[in-house]
Amino acid sequence: KCGFVSIIGRPNVGKSTLLNRILDEKVTIVSSKPNTTRTNIKGVKTGENYQLILIDTPGIHIAKDKINRLMVQNALDSLEMVDIVYFMVEPGEFIGKEIKFILEVLKKYEGKKYLLINKVDKSTKTKAINTANEIFKYLEFDYVLPISALKGINIDKLIDLTVKDL
Ligand code: GDP
Ligand code: MG
C-alpha cells in the first residue's frame, strides 16, 4: 500500500518534529523560531506492507508579504495531491482567524482528516479534549488523536490508522 500524507497546522505546533519522529531520523529543521520550514519537504516511511510519503509544510498563517504568502500557498497546494491530511494543533490553542481559515480550506478537502492534538506531554487531558471539542464546532474530523511528537506518545497508533486508511 502506498499513500501521501500532508502535515499542516500553524507555525510551531510541532509538524517537523512529528515528521522526524515518524521517520526516526532528522530530515527537517526543528526550531522554536516560527517559519523555519520554508518548503514542502518530503520524507518516505517504509513499513512491511506500506509506504507513506509525508509532506511537512510551512506553518499556515495570515501572510503579510509575498514570500510568506507563497509559503502558505505551498502548504495548501499540497492538499491536492494527498490521501490523508494531519491537522496539528496544541492543547489550549486559541481558535482564531488562522485556525478558522485552515478549517475553511479543509471543508473542501475530500481525503481523510486527522486532528492531532500535539504536545500532550505538557498538557492535561481535559485541555486537549476541550481543544478538540472547540475545533469540532467548525469541522468534524475522521479521527482525533492526542499525541506527543517529541516523546513519541501515540505515534504507533497514528501510523496504524494511517496505513489502514490507505
Ligand atoms: P513546526 O513549526 O510546526 O514544524 O514545529 P517544530 O517541529 O519546529 O517544533 C516547534 C517547537 O515545539 C520545538 O521547540 C519542538 O521541540 C517543540 N515540540 C514539538 N513537538 C512537541 C511535543 O510533542 N511536546 C513538546 N513539549 N514540545 C514539542
Ligand atoms: Mg516546521
Name the pTM for this structure: 0.90
- From the CB of 31, is ligand 1 less than 6 Å away? yes
How confident is the model over 129-148, as pLDDT tens digits? Answer: 999 999 999 999 999 999 99
- Residues with Cβ within 8 Å of 106's Cβ and at least 6 positions away in sequence, in order, are 79, 85, 87, 113, 139
Type of residue at 163: V
State in Å: Cα 71 to ligand 2 middle: 12
How confident is the model over 85-122, as pLDDT tens digits? Answer: 999 999 999 898 888 888 988 998 999 999 999 999 99
The domain containing residue 104 runs over which residues? 2-165
- From the CB of 162, is ligand 1 less than 6 Å away? no
What's the CATH number where 63 sits?
Answer: 3.40.50.300
For residue 110, CA distances in Å to 80, 82, 159, 164, 165 come to 9, 10, 20, 17, 13
Q: How many domains does the chain have?
A: 1
- From the CB of 155, is ligand 1 less than 6 Å away? no
